[in-house]
Amino acid sequence: MYNMKRKIENYLFVKVSGSEGVYNEAGDGVMCSIGCWLKHQNTSDYLYITTAGHCYDYDEGSAYGFYDFAVIIVENENLDPQFIIRNDDADQYRELIIIYDGLISSHYAHICKSGFITHLTCGYVLGLDGVYYGIEENNNKVVELIITDLYGLLGDAGGSVFSFASSESLHSVV
């Protein structure tokens, strides 16, 4: 029998991109999707991920506010943030590069989402400034929603919503 100690020189780094699944062990173990990575504008010390607010703070009686949005600090140094959106089902453009941010400001604009469960689906903006009234006992209200005909299921919540940068460049998104 050999008594060998392994010296760990290389760590396993996990690439994490938009639309990956994120699991909340606290509460009911809700599965959601990562929207995108963020860095603080004044410091590069911390990285954050975005997801839906109810994914981070899932409690039947909690009021997560008017916006169903969460920004979560990432403290795991073995994660390798990828500023891309996964598009695994495609033969081409399997990684969509996020080139800048923008606002959806017009009806009938082409819009897509990438979620952990249904992956990439596209549709059109049917309305802006939508409001959702919850059915919980405290009737949470979520405002400023974009109404679309996108297909999605539970677990897609919090995923990336985007438009293609141009019809000539299907690997770049906004």
For 127-155, what is each residue's pLDDT tens digit? 998 888 877 655 678 788 889 999 988 88
Give the H/E segment covering residue 18: strand 14-18
The answer as to whether 21 is a domain residue is yes
- Mean pLDDT over 25-29 rounds to 65
Closest CA to 68 of 83, 56, 84: 56
Q: What is the mean pLDDT of the chain?
A: 78
Residue 8, sorted as left (phi over 0), alpha (psi -120 to 50) or beta, turns out to be beta
Q: Smallest Cα–Cα separation from 145: which of 164, 161, 163, 127?
A: 127
For residues 82 and 133, give the distance between their C-alpha atoms in angstroms, rounded to a whole number: 34
The answer as to whether 99 is a domain residue is yes
CA distance 89 to 19: 13
Distances (CA, A) of 31 to 55, 108, 149, 156, 163: 7, 30, 22, 8, 24
Q: Which CATH number do you get for residue 76?
A: 2.40.10.10
> Where do runs of H (alpha helix) occur along the chain?
53-56
pLDDT of residue 111: 93
Would residue 1 count as lying in a domain? no
- Tens digits of residue pLDDT in 95-127: 888 888 878 878 999 999 998 899 999 999 999
Residue 9 counted as domain residue = no
Identify the domain containing residue 139 by its residue range: 14-167
On whether residue 2 sits in a domain, the answer given is no
Q: Of the segments 36-40, 107-111, 152-156, 167-171, which one has the largest average pLDDT value?
A: 107-111
Model confidence at 7, pLDDT cuts 50, 70, 90, reads very low
Is 125 contained in some domain? yes
pLDDT of residue 65: 64
Q: For position 123, what pLDDT does the model report? A: 95
Which pair of tokens denotes residue 116? Answer: 């952990």
Number of domains into which the chain is organized: 1
Q: How confident is the model at residue 27 (pLDDT cuts 50, 70, 90)?
A: low
**What is the tens place of the pLDDT at every residue in 56-80?**
655 544 545 667 788 888 887 777 7
Does 159 fall in a domain?
A: yes
DSSP three-state, residue 97: strand
Supply the pLDDT for residue 4: 42
Q: In the structure, what pLDDT confidence band is assigned to residue 88 with cuts at 50, 70 and 90?
A: confident
pTM metric for this prediction? 0.75
Give residue 147's pLDDT. 92
| Domain-located, residue 109 | yes
